[in-house]
Structure 1
Amino acid sequence: MAAFFLIIIYLAFISLGLPDSLLGVTWPVMQSEFGAPLETAGLLFMVIAGGTIVSSLMSGTVIKRFGTGKVAFVSSVMTAAALVGFSFSPSLVWLFLCAIPLGLGAGAIDAGLNNYVAAHYKAHHMNWLHCFWGVGATLGPIVMASFISGNNSWRNGYLAIAGIQLLLVVILFLALPLWDRIAVSPLSKEPEQEKSADGQTVKPFQIKGVKLTLIAFLFYCGAESAIGLWGSSFLVNVKDLSIETAAKWVSLYFAGITVGRFVTGFISLKVSNYTLIRTGQAMALGGAILLLLPLPAIFSLVGFVLIGLGLAPIFPSMLHETPTRFGKEHSQTIMGYQMALAYTGSTFLPPLLGFMASQSTIAIFPFVIAIFIAAMFLSSELLNAFLKKKHLLSGQKKKTTVF
């Protein structure tokens, strides 16, 4: 039965990825229909991201109250309803209103199911889980493009994606009775709370090391999104590539992430999350350095692919380590914090890079990317050092109590 729930979670992540890439593909058609300025798409994206951040932060409390199954079901209903709303929106105001439940639903599903997999399944499943998100993010534009090219109907495209989401809603509804009997987490029992030196209960955000992991998530997603957003501009304006060639090279960067996560799923059967995270960060930093150096353009392609392959295991491996690093009793709340900071990084750091480039030159792109990756690497290494010291101290205390 554990395999049955895993299939449901995989389907949920495909469904989660489907709408994530729709707005960018659809906006050129939507913009002309609504007579909106170009930057309106950015505002819609920020509303969706804002809802995702809020629901991620609230996910710990909500899931403890209602359970992962019910939250996943209600969140899927919200996202499906929002997509239906997009397809029938008569004006921009309705698009913005529908963007709110779309973001709220996505954040709750993301944080809840990530924590469920981290607590109940091995690391390779976490890597494959995020690989399936990539499948959804890839299929979304394909589905939408088929509708737009046919009769220029982006509304029918959104309605089709909503239909796929509604199918997931039905599956999650039918599975609801099973969550309590089979998929109920052992965390539902009242765990022993971590205490501080003065005997007070420690809240998740007060646990030492949590802030370091949040910094790592912030800069990871900032780097991943900034490369996707500004990579083509760097290749066209600095490396003198054609727009078509630049687009293909950046697509290979995303392919590196997706394929890398699939392959990492098998590697994680033999290699620890700690090693995967450190190796991935070193590889990504090496790729950023290749972009920095005054080398022929082909080395930029190698750099992009190397960064993609390096980033591939980092995000799922860090998520999977959450219960191990901070305790299962706190993992759901901390998972919500991590997802919130991840979305914060992907929402605000790429525009920050764009603003800096507009004030200077897009040639700063590899320098900023290298700084983002280095900041992630540094915070992760500081966290590892702290956890190693903590485990050594706890081991010494255990030895002392024997006597």
Structure 2
Amino acid sequence: MNKIIALFFLVMFVIGTDTFLISPLIPTLQSRFGVPTETAGWMIGAYTLGSAVFALIAGPLSDGWDRKKVLLSGLACFAVSTCLCGFASDFWTMILFRFLAGVSAAFTAPQVWAAIPTLLPPAKIGKALGFAYAGLAVSQALGVPIGSLLATGNWSLPFWAIGLFSLVLAVAVYFAVPGMKPRVQQGAKPSIFKRYVPLLTSGKARGTFLAYFFVHLGGSAAFAFLGKWMTDRFGLTIDEAGYVIIFLGLGNLLGSICSSYVIKALSQLQTMAAGMLIVIAAYVALPHVSSVSIVKGAYFFIFAILGILFPLMVGLLNSLNPVIRGTISSLATSTMNAATTLGAWMAGMLYAAFNGYSAVGIFTGICLACSLLVFISSGVLSTQAEKAESKAEPVA
């Protein structure tokens, strides 16, 4: 079972690396393809758009299929489409291949979260979910900087490396992961979209997902053009910008480890309010710092706090309806990627219109403030929700 957990960690690692990789490469790809700043963000947005749209279908649909086959197919398609990104000859072919990679990721990642409760005994589920989630944090800390280092030789190398490694993982999944056939009664044809009805008709659920959307909208806008800002402001190369991102991942990893301890020491409302307010102030001030060292420290601090807050947010989402956590996970993935798509586009527009990162920082601060207000007004941070969350298992 430890081999399967390690394998799932690596699957989330490659998906996370591919998701975040474009940010430090934007200046190079923008110059190579000759696209303006306000359009360059779509090289991130195309991936997240594909993932956002198809996650709504992939999660519930795969409940009726053998999860191993879905995971294998998604991972293989992810490997091929990511490799093709390295052969992109112009902006629009890159957009197409990034979109296909996002679609493939939408079929791959949900199978990891759904397979863990299926394959592992209850006592190991929580630990395994946390270990798989750590793959995303480690992808920021190590995967993206490694990709940036490879890109100094050739911008295509990171895409080829991720694609080939994903193929290796697909082979490992074929031999190590057992089949997971669905348990559906003969003749039953469950509706995919009816599973979303309990969430769409609940005011608390709508508010919680809206707050989750705002936090990713602001965060993705700030992250999308971090590489370009550091290049413009401090004259960093691709690999130097990648090294800065190490501090984001390390902060995120530290925060996620400490999250449960912080929430126990404070209430959910206190943790959410204090964390959001601190991050808002940091994002607004960040564009005005004078050295790369301060940027590293600031982003380590910001992502340590976000690492504390995100497990709390995911727990709040799971507490909405424990019976349909798989559907909640799919909708949360789609919400996150839709916000990332819009955030990358908005960041490009703001960066170009106001000639810098300050407007992006203010936009991020406004989005996080809206998220905090909606979280509070939705009622999900009430005492009843807090008790439910304390029993819920975190699912990404």
Q: TM-score, normalised to structure 2's length?
A: 0.74
Residues 151 and 158 of structure 2 are in contact (CA less than 8 Å); yes or no, is this contact kept in structure 1?
yes
Show the counterpart of 1:337. Answer: 331
In the TM superposition, residue 164 of structure 1 has moved relative to its aligned partner by 0.5
Aligned CA distance change for structure 1 residues 165 and 334 (closer, same or farther; 3 Å): same
* CA distance 1:390–1:159, change in 2 (3 Å): closer
Deviations 1:58-82 (A, max 9, x none): 1232221114433222111111010
Contact 1:281 1:314 survives alignment (8 Å): no
Which position in structure 1 is the counterpart of 2:209? 214
Output the CA distance in 2 between the equivalents of 1:276 and 1:127.
19
Question: Which one scores higher on RCO, CA 8 angstroms, separation ≥ 6?
Answer: 2
The answer on whether the counterparts of 1:123 and 1:268 sit within 8 Å (CA) in structure 2 is no
Q: Give me the whole-angstrom Cα distance separating, in 1, the residues matched to 2:374 and 2:210.
A: 7
Contact 1:56 1:337 in 2 (8 A): yes
**2:253 — aligned with what?**
261
Question: Which is further off, 80-89 or 122-131?
Answer: 122-131
Q: Deviations over 1:79-127 (max 9, x none)?
A: 1010232234455554343223201011233344345568966666555
Q: Secondary structure at the match of 2:319?
A: helix
Counterpart residue identity of residue 288, structure 1: I
Q: Which position in structure 1 is the counterpart of 2:107?
A: 108
2:314 aligned with 1:319, yes or no? Answer: yes
CA distance in 1 between counterparts of 2:241 and 2:92 reads 37
Alignment of 1:87-106 (within 5 A): 87-89=86-88, 94-106=93-105
Preserved CA contact (<8 Å) 2:46 2:341: no
AA matched with 2:304: L
Match of 2:368 among 357, 369, 373: 373
Aligned residues: 369
Q: Which residue of 2 aligns with 1:66?
A: 65
Amino acid at match of 1:59: A
- The aligned counterpart of 1:130 is 133
Which structure has the bigger radius of gyration?
1
* C-alpha contact (below 8 Å) 2:220/2:344 kept by paired residues: yes
CA apart distance, 1:303: 5.6
Q: Percent identity?
A: 15
Amino acid at match of 1:217: Y
Partner AA of 1:106 in structure 2: A
Q: Is the 8 A contact 2:254 2:304 kept in 1?
A: no
Contact 2:217 2:340 (8 Å CA) reproduced:
yes
Aligned residues of 2:26 and 2:227 also touching (Cα < 8 A):
no
Match of 1:169 in 2: 170
Question: Would you say the 8 A contact 1:47–1:100 is kept in 2?
Answer: yes
Matched position secondary structure for 1:65: coil
Q: CA deviation at 1:215?
A: 1.1
- The residue identity in structure 2 corresponding to 1:130 is Y
Answer with 218-227 or 88-97: which moved more: 88-97
- Unaligned runs of 5+ residues in structure 1 are 194-200, 393-403
Matched residues in 1 for 2:206 and 2:169: separation? 35
Q: Does 1:205 align with 2:236?
A: no
- How far does residue 319 in structure 1 lie from its aligned partner after superposition? 2.4
* Number of the residue aligned with 1:37: 35
2:193 aligned residue: none
- Residues 48 and 337, structure 2, Cα contact 8 Å, conserved in 1: yes
Which residue matches 1:347? 341
Distance 2:223 2:97 in 1: 26
Report what 2:276 is aligned to: 284
**Cα distance change of structure 1 residues 333 and 28 upon mapping to structure 2, 3 Å threshold:** same
Deviation at 1:133, TM superposition (A): 1.4
CA contact (8 A) 1:88 1:155 kept: yes
The answer on whether the counterparts of 1:21 and 1:141 sit within 8 Å (CA) in structure 2 is yes
Structure 2: tracts of 5 or more residues without a match: 191-195, 388-396
Does the C-alpha gap of structure 1 residues 212 and 147 become closer, same or farther in structure 2, counting only changes over 3 Å? same
SS at match of 2:218: helix
Structure 2 counterparts to residues 129-278 of structure 1, below 5 A: 129-150=132-153, 152=154, 154-180=155-181, 203-229=198-224, 242-243=234-235, 255-256=247-248, 258-265=250-257, 268=260, 271=263, 275=267, 278=270
Offset of 1:48 from its aligned partner? 1.6
Provide the C-alpha distance between the structure 2 equivalents of 1:149 and 1:311, rounded to a whole number of angstroms: 30
Does the aligned pair in 2 maintain the 1:83–1:159 contact within 8 Å? yes
In structure 2, the residue corresponding to 1:129 is in which secondary structure?
helix
Report the residue type matching 1:174 in the other structure.
F
Distance 1:211 1:111, change over 3 A: farther
